[in-house]
Structure 1
Amino acid sequence: MDVDTRLLRYFVAVAEEGTLTRAAERLFVSQPALTKQIKQLETQLGVQLFTRSRTGMSLTEPGLTLAERVPALLTDWDQVLQETKSAASRAARILRVGFIASAANEATPRIIAEFTRRRPGWRVDMRQATWSNPSAGLADGDVDVALLRLPFPGHEALRTAVLFTEPRWVALPEEHPLTARDVIPFRELWGEPFVAAPRETGWWRDHWLATDERDGHPVRIGAVTDQPDDWLSTIANGYGIALAPASAARFYARPGITYRPVSGVSPSQVGVAWACADDTNPVVQDFIHCCLDRPWPQEATT
């Protein structure tokens, strides 16, 4: 019998979290979709894996047996998969670099140029990820290294290094009355509708809504987007505002949107991330050094 490893990962998440709600947040999927996948796995195996109740999900005897063996199986499979993909990239002399929109921004071409100087004959394959994949494919082994906003879900299992820190600003429709202000206190934005990342991204979404910096004031969601172009269009069309890195004012300038500094909200960090196994990978380490050794603009660190 062949079982999709994705179903096994969903099973492990539910077994470890004890509730569908927490497991869905961890996996960045909706709860109905997760419920469907668990039922599919039970159907394929022909056993009941969980006892469902109002308080959560309890493992049955067959479920306990599966839960004891599956994590190690998945770890081994992930290792094999990552090594296979890495071997293919090394053979082709390609370094796979994931990134989230508005990460290193205009510094990226200079990082790549320095890496190419250090590694003649190698090519950097830049792979942009959606906001619903905040590790930019690094957690799944789809890339070798990533340029990201820190922190991100799952960063504890990876290596990270901060490149620079920059303020969070706000992106507003150009006709919004607050565009007349030079600096906007975050408190004055609490009642505004915000453009948010998908709910499945958990506290990544919460960070860009600054939910912990609202003194308990609830967030109004005007729209949900997962791509920079959709995000920009939604703001320009007046469906909401959004916190953004200060560099977005340069990198994502467009008609219909005005960026303004915000006081009373913490800054954002940009970092480079890589898998622990690549601490001794000379190609990955060269790219990391290209990131860390370059001088960052002074305004980015304030």
Structure 2
Amino acid sequence: MVMDARVRDLRYFVAVAEELHFTRAAERLYVSQPALSKQIRMLEGQAGAELFERGRREVRLTDAGAALLPHARRVIAEWDAARASVARVVADRARVFTLGMSTSPGRGGLLPAIRSRFTAARPDVRIRLRQVAWYDTTAGLADGACDAAFVWLPLPEPERFRWTVVAEEPCLVAMADGHPLAARETVDFADLLDEPFLAIPAEAGPLRDYWLATDARGGRPPRIAAEVASTEETYEALAAGLGVVLLAAGNARLVTLGGVVARPVRGLPPSRFALAWRTDDRNPLLRDCIRACREATRAS
């Protein structure tokens, strides 16, 4: 038997099989009796057999109809269960807003302030934080893994994203505490031109160039001593004296542990930390997150 029946047709069939009366089945299904009869005839055509014996006073299942009935019920039950599962996933996703980050947004309690304002507006929604490797400078925005993300500017493909700046911080240079420049209170960037630098991965694109201060080098290429893809790798490379690295003031505490110091750098613009989102995102929760972020930023 070759069949390509729709679930709706199977529902019609089961209703008639249980009522054994076309009019009552039509009333139960909220359809007209002629429409129901037409769909049953079409289902019989697909099944290649009559499913009901139609008499003047009664309707009975044929042997073919009796054979189909348990399968039809099972298909309907499976489909209802599948729809319920999908609905739960959609509902769960609607109640979760994912924030990406490759660097902790600490910065004077910014994240708790955003979370509290967002939760006040959306008490039924949970914020989920997602840590993303430095290879992805969009912190999960580009591939849709995150709804919004804390990022360092500039972003690759800036036309794909929008953002609001949450912090502007002076640039520091971190180095081993035995480095000749470590004794200075402030370092001129000109004195760093010949230093070996630690660089974030090449996949970071324009952000890699930014943290190497390529625009401030007057065409002189940077000396790359090593690539680092995490805070831990950066600290280990600094402590080992492999090179120096530029970083935002708010991140200095992450690497100035034993054997590493950070000094302000003259001659570089401040770094910009932002909350970013996809330009085409129409998620209503996004608007609440942006509003909470801007309010928290103004308050700080």
Equivalent position to 2:214, from 206, 211, 215 = 211
CA distance in 1, matches of 2:255, 2:120: 29
Identify the residue that residue 100 of structure 1 maps to in structure 2: 102
CA distance in 2, matches of 1:237, 1:282: 48
Matched to 2:276, the amino acid is A
1:33-78: CA deviation from partner (whole Å, max 9, x where unpaired): xxxxxxxxxxxxxxxxxxxxxxxxxxxxxxxxxxxxxxxxxxxxxx
SS of residue matched to 2:288: helix
Identify the residue that residue 254 of structure 1 maps to in structure 2: 257
1:274 aligns with 2:297: no
Contact 2:110-2:296 within 8 A present in 1 as well: no
Deviation at 1:121, TM superposition (A): 3.0
Is the alpha carbon distance of 1:174 and 1:158 closer, same or farther for their aligned partners in structure 2, counting shifts above 3 Å? same
Deviation at 1:295, TM superposition (A): 3.9
1:3-58: CA deviation from partner (whole Å, max 9, x where unpaired): xxxxxxxxxxxxxxxxxxxxxxxxxxxxxxxxxxxxxxxxxxxxxxxxxxxxxxxx
SS of residue matched to 1:113: helix
Deviation at 1:231, TM superposition (A): 1.1
Matched to 1:132, the amino acid is Y
Is the alpha carbon distance of 1:92 and 1:285 closer, same or farther for their aligned partners in structure 2, counting shifts above 3 Å? closer
Give runs of ≥4 in structure 1 deviating > 6 Å.
none
CA RMSD of aligned residues (A): 2.2
TM-score normalised by length of structure 1: 0.65
Deviation at 1:89, TM superposition (A): 7.0
Contact 2:153-2:207 within 8 A present in 1 as well: no
1:147 aligns with 2:174: no
Contact 2:136-2:203 within 8 A present in 1 as well: no
Deviation at 1:250, TM superposition (A): 3.4
Matched to 2:237, the amino acid is T
1:179 aligns with 2:182: yes
| Unmatched tracts of structure 1, length 5 or more | 1-83
Deviation at 1:104, TM superposition (A): 5.4
Is the alpha carbon distance of 1:248 and 1:283 closer, same or farther for their aligned partners in structure 2, counting shifts above 3 Å? same
Deviation at 1:282, TM superposition (A): 2.5
Is the alpha carbon distance of 1:213 and 1:89 closer, same or farther for their aligned partners in structure 2, counting shifts above 3 Å? farther
CA distance in 1, matches of 2:299, 2:252: 15
Identify the residue that residue 61 of structure 1 maps to in structure 2: none
How many residue pairs were aligned?
A: 212
SS of residue matched to 2:113: helix
CA distance in 1, matches of 2:299, 2:184: 26
Contact 1:135-1:152 within 8 A present in 2 as well: yes
Is the alpha carbon distance of 1:289 and 1:273 closer, same or farther for their aligned partners in structure 2, counting shifts above 3 Å? same
CA distance in 1, matches of 2:299, 2:186: 22
CA distance in 1, matches of 2:263, 2:93: 47
Identity %: 38
Matched to 1:205, the amino acid is R
SS of residue matched to 1:247: helix
CA distance in 1, matches of 2:252, 2:279: 34
1:198 aligns with 2:201: yes
Is the alpha carbon distance of 1:223 and 1:89 closer, same or farther for their aligned partners in structure 2, counting shifts above 3 Å? farther
Is the alpha carbon distance of 1:90 and 1:154 closer, same or farther for their aligned partners in structure 2, counting shifts above 3 Å? farther
Is the alpha carbon distance of 1:296 and 1:251 closer, same or farther for their aligned partners in structure 2, counting shifts above 3 Å? farther
Alignment map for 1:158-173 (pairs within 5 Å): 158-173=161-176
1:184-235: CA deviation from partner (whole Å, max 9, x where unpaired): 0001011111110122322221110001101122211111011111111111
Larger radius of gyration: 2
Contact 1:95-1:125 within 8 A present in 2 as well: yes
CA distance in 1, matches of 2:142, 2:91: 17
CA distance in 1, matches of 2:288, 2:156: 25
Deviation at 1:171, TM superposition (A): 0.8
SS of residue matched to 2:237: helix
Matched to 2:103, the amino acid is A
Matched to 1:170, the amino acid is V
Equivalent position to 1:135, from 134, 138, 144 = 138
Matched to 1:115, the amino acid is F
Contact 2:238-2:244 within 8 A present in 1 as well: yes
Is the alpha carbon distance of 1:272 and 1:207 closer, same or farther for their aligned partners in structure 2, counting shifts above 3 Å? same
Alignment map for 1:1-302 (pairs within 5 Å): 88=90, 91=93, 93-103=95-105, 105=107, 106-278=109-281, 280-295=282-297
Contact 2:141-2:148 within 8 A present in 1 as well: yes
| Unmatched tracts of structure 2, length 5 or more | 1-85
